[in-house]
Amino acid sequence: MYNDVRDHGRIPKGPNDKRDKSLSASYIRSLHRMFHMCLDRAVKERLIIRNPADDVVLPKVEKKEIMILKPEHIKDYLAEADRRGVLPIFFLELCSGLRKGELVALLWSDLDVERRTISVSKQAVRVKGGGVKVTTPKTATSIRVESIPQKAVDLLVAEHEKHPDNPYLFPSPVTGDMYYPDAIAAIHTKILKTLGLEHTRFHALRHTFASVALQNGVDIRTVSGMLGHADPGFTLRTYTHTMNSLQVQAAETMGAVMSQNL
């Protein structure tokens, strides 16, 4: 069953969805954990003698390289975003690491100018048929109050002054309603193309935030909380490449300190 789901499990989102129907090894492992817990319950209630899921050979998860916007490209990226009139959106993204659905669902009332925070309590998600609806985040830890820098606050205030009667922080210039999440991703793609940079998903900006924060001394628990992760261990595993580089720096620092005692 797992092999079949792995190869053909993805359900097309429409008649024009030509994406591969296979599912990742990590997704299969998540399914397995759910089935295993259900069957464990059946064993405890003596509905079955033993858990048949104990014998399953699971696919190995291939560690994929995290794609980020390289630090040396950030200045040009933001300059191009400014030229397109969308600097507040992308500056906030790089300072906060919000998911794109969380970003477009932000209201003006979610910004606390005095405390320099934004409240993340909802997200825009696609629904069957191509529409979008606003829902609560999928996990409790995704509901959070996140600090942002003063520069971001200034940009958001200036942005709101362009449309003071609109409740959305980033209303679409076309509809005046909430930005469609994929429209933000499309602008990201256009910026990369204009600059001649390698294509990455919008999600790479979230990874960029986390990597830059960790490399500049922000502790893993703080970064995990800002990302809305339920477990700092997940954050640690996701950004292993960054943590490895920090260990090299730490080793060099400790070596310099200890060498003074030789």
Q: 114 with 187, same domain?
A: yes
Mean pLDDT of the chain, nearest integer: 86
pLDDT at site 23: 76
Q: Is 77 exposed, middle or buried (0-12, 13-18, 19+ CB in 10 A)?
A: buried
Q: 24 with 80, same domain?
A: no
Q: How many domains does the chain have?
A: 2
Assigned token pair, 126: 């696609």
Q: 98 with 201, same domain?
A: yes
Q: 33 with 129, same domain?
A: no
Q: 113 with 148, same domain?
A: yes
Residue 189 domain-assigned (yes or no): yes
Tell me the C-alpha distance between 212 and 210, whole Å: 6
Kindly report, residue by residue over 169-202, the tens digit of the pLDDT. Answer: 999 988 889 988 999 999 999 999 999 999 999 9
Residue 114 domain-assigned (yes or no): yes
Residue 247 domain-assigned (yes or no): no
CA distances from 45 to 32, 34, 42 (A): 20, 17, 5
CA distances from 91 to 25, 109, 121 (A): 34, 19, 20
Residue 153 domain-assigned (yes or no): yes
Residues of the chain with pLDDT below 50 are none
pLDDT at site 13: 67
Percent of the chain with pLDDT over 70: 89
Q: 151 with 226, same domain?
A: yes
Closest CA to 131 of 249, 256, 2, 14: 14
Residue owning tokens 């040396």: 72
Kindly report, residue by residue over 216-235, the tens digit of the pLDDT. Answer: 888 888 888 888 887 777 77
Q: 49 with 117, same domain?
A: no
Range of the domain at 109: 71-237
What residues pair up with 123 in beta bridges, in sequence order?
135
Q: 88 with 178, same domain?
A: yes
Q: 147 with 33, same domain?
A: no
Contact in structure between 35 and 43 (CB atoms under 8 Å)? no
pLDDT at site 85: 94
Q: 219 with 96, same domain?
A: yes
